[in-house]
Copies of this chain bind each other. A is one copy, B any other.
Amino acid sequence: MSKKVPNRILLTEEQMPKQWYNVRADMPTQHAPYINPRTMKPAAPEDLTPVFAEELCKQEVSLERYIDIPEEVLEYYKLYRPSPVIRAYQLERLLDTPARIYYKYEGSNTSGSHKLNSAVPQVYYNKKQGIARITTETGAGQWGTALAMACAYFDMPLRVYMVKVSYQQKPYRKDIMETYGANVFASPSDTTEIGRAILAKDPGNTGSLGTAISEAIEMAVSTPNTRYSLGSVLNQVLLHQSIIGMESKAQLEAVDEYPDYVIGSAGGGSNLGGLMSSFMQDRLTGKAKPYFIAVEPSACPSFTRGKFTYDFCDVGHITPLAKMYTLGSSFIPTSIHAGGLRYHGMSPVLSQLYHDGFLDEARAVGQKEVFDAAVLFAKHEAILPAPESAHAIKAAIDVALECKERGEAKTILFGLTGNGNFDLAAYADYNAGKLENYAPTDEDIAKSVADLNFEPQL
């Protein structure tokens, strides 16, 4: 620790990992299998291949420890990676904490977040298989933008179902996807049976991630040579995102650091799953024992108040069932602005790790305190964070202050998954004093988890 750590710890492109790390290879207990809801038996490969490209189906169930990143994917990664790990000197000074705070910043690419890391290989594998078009959903718009960028690069047509409330509140997210050539529909739409059914019952329905997933999958399986892409939750996504943690570990090692705390925002789990990859490997293999914290919005608290059980991944109930922490697919989160964290479920891998005690802690934080942390961070670290990312900032600040109280010079690593350039309407609400902390009542949650009594035949 004698040498001065630079503000931004960089890697050269030669130092960028050439393989992804698959945490499942080191987990003592695998997550319960996906279940085909028609048979209630474990999903067979042929249940998944109509939805996802074959190579991605293989990755979804793979227990290989390392998987090569294709050359074509590496070439795209090099356009924006490796991303920096940044020492938050200004924040440390402001908090007057003995803790050393680092963050991995994934927001400087045009999509504005880490989502591009999985969009690129997903499009690549579809292209390689000769798939003619891709469908997807997007909530806050980060995933849709990332997939649109990857599709433009690989010349792949894309149809995006965008949650209607986001479509209306974030027109520029639609515009950027269209600039990259995507076809964007507000969901629920009249282009699918599920969308039409919802609109018939409730014409003013403003949509949800679960509904948009249903529409995108329906369109994929009912259109020739079309596949679907998902930006979170799945094992393949965590695999692709492992590059975040692998790079982070190399960057911290370069300045003789190892994190005592690894802190990530958690919606579907793509960010936290990626950030913790190499550090969780150390934990699972007994090499080190970093403390992992998942941070979720109090408005959508799947880890902290959800149930660990089988549930659908979508509202229309056309996906396989997954065993995960869930608030129930009928749970409707309030329209807090961290749109990307408004998902009822959680990655099965992260759910299993949390259940087994390897993911140490989950914290739920309110949106007002998240924006307080975001603005403090923006002013002193010169990056305007996405509201999703700011959940991790809030927790990192709290941990740094705990360290101060205890006089402990711990090392904190958190994931700054994206920038807030497309979230200014939310910041304007914050500036106007309109944001409040919010949490659903116990009755709300009890109601939405009441139906979760699926009994698979394992």
Contact = CB atoms under 8 A, between A and B. Distances in A.
Nearest to A116: B382
A380 interface: yes
B431 A375 contact: no
Contacts of A180: 378-379
A419 B378 CA distance: 18
A175 interface: yes
Contact of A427 (B10, B12, B175, B424): B175
Nearest to A86: B79
Contacts of A13: 6-8
A12 B14 contact: no
Interface of A is mostly: helix
A424 B179 contact: yes
Given A8-B13, A90-B79, A175-B431, A422 B425 contact: no
B384 A179 contact: yes
A417 to B, nearest CB: 15
A60 interface: no
B10 A76 contact: no
A181 B379 contact: yes
A175 B428 contact: yes
A80 interface: yes
A175 B383 contact: no
A90 B80 CA distance: 13
A76 B419 CA distance: 19
B110 A178 contact: no
Contacts of A110: 378, 382-384, 419, 421
Contacts of A198: none
B6 A425 contact: no
Interface in A1-40: 6-8, 10, 12-14
A411 interface: no
A419 B181 CA distance: 18
A112 B421 contact: yes
A67 to B, nearest CB: 23
B179 A378 contact: yes
A180 B431 CA distance: 10
B427 A176 contact: yes
Nearest to A77: B7
A290 B71 CA distance: 36
A118 to B, nearest CB: 15
A118 B20 CA distance: 41
A109 interface: yes
Interface of A: 6-8, 10, 12-14, 76, 78-80, 90, 108-110, 112, 116, 149, 152-153, 171-172, 175-176, 178-181, 375, 378-384, 419, 421-422, 424-425, 427-428, 430-431
20 contacts: A6-B12, A6-B14, A7-B13, A10-B10, A79-B381, A79-B383, A80-B382, A109-B383, A110-B383, A110-B421, A116-B382, A149-B379, A152-B378, A153-B379, A172-B172, A172-B428, A175-B424, A175-B425, A176-B421, A180-B379
